[in-house]
Structure formats: structure tokens, C-alpha cells
Amino acid sequence: MTLRRSLIAVPLVLAVCAVAQLGCDSRNVGNIERSAVRACIRSTACGVKSYPRISNCTDDLRTVLNEAMATVLDSIYFCVNHARSCKAVKECYGVIGPCEQSFVASCTDNTAVTCDLIDKLVYRYDCGAAKSTCKVDPKYTFAATCMGTSDTLPELEANCEDRACTFGDACKSDALNQCDGDRLKVCIKGRWVSYDCGALFLSPCKMSKNGWGSCSVRDDG
């Protein structure tokens, strides 16, 4: 599967993206909120974090509780937004394999091995790289996270400063992703936000047989 190749002014980046399987979003994203939404859209297109609501994916950031885990996720989002293949996107997220019913989270060498109950996959987070401490949730033993001492992060908000997206009308929080022509419409904090798939170096939005939309990737066979 292939993302539409990007046309980027910087010659070196252009050369790299031109031979890439995925078009890479090599712009400086600027903040973790915008980076998270774009990474979630790209990974959903690749079927790695394939959620019917982008908010399901971005909740990973909104509920991390501490800045240490946000640092880990920010690194993942940066990786995803620069990935040149769907395989690379999967590697960015540190996917280990399916989450079996008997799975128990662990902390080994300060690395969190945890289960995402939404997509039923096991993920690896390097807490040491974020200068934080791995901790298994004593109540929910399937979950482990990177703990820090900073305050809780503010809730995620869409950012459309570079015109890759536009704001729309109000929406219900449980609204599914939709296609508006070639664009992807997602509900974030009670408001529709329309994303230009092409501006994210993806192919046009397509509706799934289950009734929700996502930007697509081209299959070169």
C-alpha cells in the first residue's frame, strides 16, 4: 500500500520521499496536538491504528495523565508522520503482536509492554528514552505506562494553522469518521474538522463497508 508521493521544496527531502513507498510529511508539525491527529489519520489509513473515530486514537494522548508518556507518544507520532511505508508505521508504534486474554503487562529494562484493548495489540514503550519510570497499573494489569512528575496535559484540540484542515459545524462525540468528497471529516471535541487527505500525503477518503471513512493508501500491487 502506498501513500501519494509528496512534492516538497527541500531537495534532499524531495529525493528521499520520491523513492519512498509512502509520501512523508516532513514539515515541522509544530505541536503535539497537530502531530497526534495527523499520525492517527496516517496510521488508520495504513490499518495500523484503524479506528472508526479518530478521537479513539487521539485519546491515547488526551488520557496519558503525565508528560512523560506524552514524550513517548510525541516520538511515535513524529516517526509515523515521517514513515515511508505502512510497515514502517507499524514499527513506529512498537507493535509486538496480538493481545491474548491471559496477557499481563510488564516493565522490563524500564520498557513498558502494554495491551491496547481497542485494537487488541501489544505495544512496547521505551520509558527510559523519555527519562521516566515504567509502572504497571495495579488495578488494570493489562496496562503499563511511563510515569513522570509533571502535571496532566491539557485536552487535545485540532489545529488548522497550515490549512490542511478546516473547522465545521457541531457534532456528537460518538460520531464516526465521514468522507466529504475526497476529504476526511472527524469529530474532535464536539466539532467537525475536515482534513485534506492529499495535504497529509495520503490518497482520497473512502468509506468502509462498516460505514466510516478514512484517508486511503494506494495499492501498487
Of all residues in the chain, what percent carry a pLDDT higher than 90?
30
Whole-number Cα distances in Å, 40 to 59, 144, 157, 201: 10, 21, 14, 13
Are the beta carbons of 214 and 50 closer than 8 angstroms?
Answer: yes
Give 41 or 59, the one with higher predicted confidence.
Answer: 41
What is the pLDDT, as a whole number, of residue 2? Answer: 45
Q: How many CB atoms lie within 10 A of CB 219?
A: 8
Q: Does 190 have pLDDT greater than 60?
A: yes
Q: What is the pLDDT of residues 10-42, one digit of tens each?
A: 222 323 333 344 554 444 334 667 788 889 899
Terminal-to-terminal C-alpha distance of the chain: 8
Please spell the DSSP secondary structure of 114-179, one letter per residue. EEETTTTEEEEEETGGGT-EEEE-SS-TT-EEEE-SSPPPPPP----TTSSEEEEEE--TTPPPEE
C-alpha cell at 220: 501498487
Q: How far apart are CA 193 and CA 188, in angstroms?
A: 7
Q: Does 68 have pLDDT greater than 80?
A: no
Q: What is the pLDDT of residues 91-119, one digit of tens each?
A: 998 888 899 889 999 998 999 999 988 77
Q: Strand 133-136 to strand 183-188: parallel, antiparallel, or no bridges (unpaired)?
A: unpaired
Amino acid at residue number 100: E
Q: What is the pLDDT of residues 133-166, one digit of tens each?
A: 999 989 899 999 888 755 555 555 666 766 788 9
